Amino acid sequence: MCVEYSSASEHEESNDDETQNAIREDLKGMSFEEIMKLKEELGAKVYKEAVLGGKSSRPQRPKAKTDLKRLNKNRPREMTTRRQVPFLGAEHRVERKKNVELRDPRFDEKSGAYSAETFKKNYQFVSQIRAKEVGQLKKKLDEVEDEAEKHDIKDTMQRLINKNVEDKKWHTKQKQLKKERSVIQKKHDLGQQPHYLTKKERRAKELVAQFEKLKNTGKLNKHMEKRRKKNAAKDRKRIGIE
């Protein structure tokens, strides 16, 4: 069987050699331009295999597949020594590109200095998104029947409302500070000594403004009742009464 296969393969190889020799003889009579045109039509790979001979032009013997079996199902599989065994988990590793630079914009000088006023101004639209979410949660609250889910929705609504209130307070405070700076600058321009408010004076001024606002909106009594209950709870906790 082996003798027949070897004789057949030798016969095929001799036929291939004769074909290649005939092709070479034909190419000798062709001009360079004609050869280049033929190479473009056939392709570089096919041209080289036809003229010079390649691996694909000759038939290869089918490789015998070795089935590596275990002597026992509890024993490890025997691996061939002709091929290096890959490192454990090598197929899951991803090589990080060296040209990628990882940086944190919070601590990177390239991102510039942090400005709270610029940040609040650029992300002021978030307050509008929160207000829309509060409206959606109100509609959802009317449809929900589970008490636990209702409690979670109410907590989420209150958290969003508190964030919007804090943002509004911050913007109001910034406007007041700008107003104070402008008054101080005018005093300097007139050559007068300006008065710089202390924290205590500024806090008292804010409380007066809050009191006037609650009084004008009719929410003063509700606010005072809420403060009274809060102070009473603090007193009970301080003296140890539940």
Query: At residue 105, does pLDDT exceed 80?
Result: no
Q: Positive or negative CA dihedral for 25, 28, 33, 36? A: positive
Domain-embedded: residue 85: no
Query: At residue 241, does pLDDT exceed 70?
Result: no
Confidence band of 22 (pLDDT split at 50, 70, 90): confident
pTM: 0.47
In the chain the beta strands, taken as DSSP E runs, fall at none
The phi-psi region of residue 175 (left if phi > 0; otherwise alpha if psi is between -120 and 50; otherwise beta) is: alpha
Residues 181 and 223 in one domain: no
Residue 147 sits at the vertex; the CA angle it makes with 131 and 157, to the nearest 5 degrees, is: 15
Least confident of 69-78, 95-104, 217-226: 95-104
Residues 182 and 208 in one domain: no
Domain-embedded: residue 236: yes
Residues 211 and 178 in one domain: no
SS3 call for 44: helix
Residues 183 and 231 in one domain: no
Residues 161 and 185 in one domain: yes
Domain-embedded: residue 4: no
Residue 5: the pLDDT is 42
Residues 188 and 210 in one domain: no
Domain-embedded: residue 235: yes
Residues 202 and 166 in one domain: no
Q: Positive or negative CA dihedral for 180, 181, 186, 192? A: positive
Mean pLDDT for all residues in the chain: 78
Q: Which of 105-109, 113-117, 137-141 is most confident?
A: 137-141
Average pLDDT, integer, range 175-197:
89
SS3 call for 105: coil
| Count of C-beta atoms within a 10 Å radius of residue 153 | 16
Rg (CA), the chain: 43
Tokens representing 113 are: 């200095």
- Number of domains making up the chain: 3
SS3 call for 70: coil
Residues 151 and 127 in one domain: yes
Residues 124 and 184 in one domain: yes
Domain-embedded: residue 172: yes
Residues 187 and 202 in one domain: no
Residue at which a domain ends, from 157, 172, 192: 192
Least confident of 32-46, 82-96, 218-232: 82-96
Q: Positive or negative CA dihedral for 189, 194, 198, 204? A: negative
Q: Give the contacts of 16 (CB within 8 A, at least 6 positions apart).
A: 53, 57, 58
Residue 4: the pLDDT is 41
Q: Which of 29-43, 49-63, 105-119, 174-188 is most confident?
A: 174-188
Question: In which domain, by residue range, is 180 found?
Answer: 114-192
Residues 123 and 186 in one domain: yes
Residues 157 and 128 in one domain: yes
